[in-house]
A = this chain, B = another copy of it.
């Protein structure tokens, strides 16, 4: 069923059908109705390729994301896809994994599909080495690039992020003000936002004149599903004699591992050990007590990102950077 079939059946030209389809005003109401009826009757749907060919846009946004099964990224994906669709855009998903080459390849794939824009979900798309980020510049030359949770200065690149630095700094400060002396910083990623969080932690310590001890910065290298691994990781530190009365984790799953460690070693939370996670995910509700966590307002960020994207595609001047502030949600794992 094509526009030709419809035009024949309705006894008009294809141009008229096209006008009806695209809501042009220059159609006699009677003609419009006649065409509409035929369209409905045959359930005709215009061919998106042909339309795309002419307009050179298929109203499609490419979404790049390292791992759609990650709790946090999956949520982001969900919000973004919803918002895009409400604005009449489709989403092509591309999970890249965490390797550089795969990221570039996926990006090229999306660009060759003539997506109208690419959204990169997650801080891991921006590295520390400027050279490694040139692929973003290249892509931005052809379509607007939207970054969620990453900060990158480049023309045609728009960033929506949470001030992880400040959020972590605040949380650390609260722990210090509550009298904690040895706060362990537990992280698992050297991504941009990972480093920001770390910096926030360090800044809080320094402003309280506390030296940052190396043994208090611990990077867990395992997978983000391996809660048992996290537990043994902390246990090893503990047995080695590292003392800590507070833990700030860069992700909730690390915090859960910390909770499990505490329980296994009969360390009372929050009396002997206070724990703060990050992302405020469902994992915070699985332990007893429930885990305090930093909420970085993912949904708000996603909504804003799509707004900026739609604005940009409509040729409006949009802000290159939108920064939200995170917020500590206090639960039973802390006493601040």
Whether B113 pairs with A90 at a CB distance below 8 angstroms is: yes
Chain A, 155-182, contact with B by CB distance < 8 Å: what is the 0/1 string? 0000000000000000000000000000
**CB of A224 to closest CB in B, whole Å:** 9
Say which one of A52-60, A200-208, A312-320 lies at the interface with B. A52-60
A74 vs B72: C-alpha distance when bound (angstroms): 10
Complex Cα spacing A67 to B81, Å: 10
Contact across chains for B53 and A81 when beta carbons are under 8 A apart: no
Q: How many angstroms from the CA of A63 to the CA of B92 in the assembled complex?
A: 10
Contact present for B92 and A90 (CB under 8 Å) = yes
List residues of A (202-252) whose CB comes within 8 Å of B's CBs: 225, 227-228
- A264 and chain B: residue at smallest CB distance: B288
User: A93 on the interface (CB 8 Å rule)?
Assistant: yes
Q: Which residues of B contact A33 (CB under 8 A)?
A: none
Integer count of this chain's copies in the complex: 2
In the A-B complex, the 9 residue pairs with the smallest Cβ-Cβ separation, listed nearest first, are A286-B286, A74-B74, A49-B52, A45-B112, A69-B78, A227-B285, A69-B75, A68-B78, A49-B53
Task: Give 30 pairs: A residue, B residue, CB < 8 Å, sorted on A.
Answer: A45-B112, A46-B112, A48-B112, A48-B113, A49-B49, A49-B52, A49-B53, A49-B114, A50-B53, A58-B113, A60-B92, A68-B68, A68-B78, A69-B74, A69-B78, A69-B79, A74-B74, A74-B77, A78-B95, A81-B93, A81-B94, A90-B92, A90-B113, A92-B93, A93-B93, A256-B286, A259-B286, A260-B285, A260-B286, A286-B287
Binding site for B on A (CB under 8 A): 45-50, 52-53, 56, 58, 60, 63, 67-71, 74-75, 77-79, 81-82, 85, 90-95, 108-109, 111-114, 225, 227-228, 253, 256, 259-260, 263-264, 282-283, 285-288
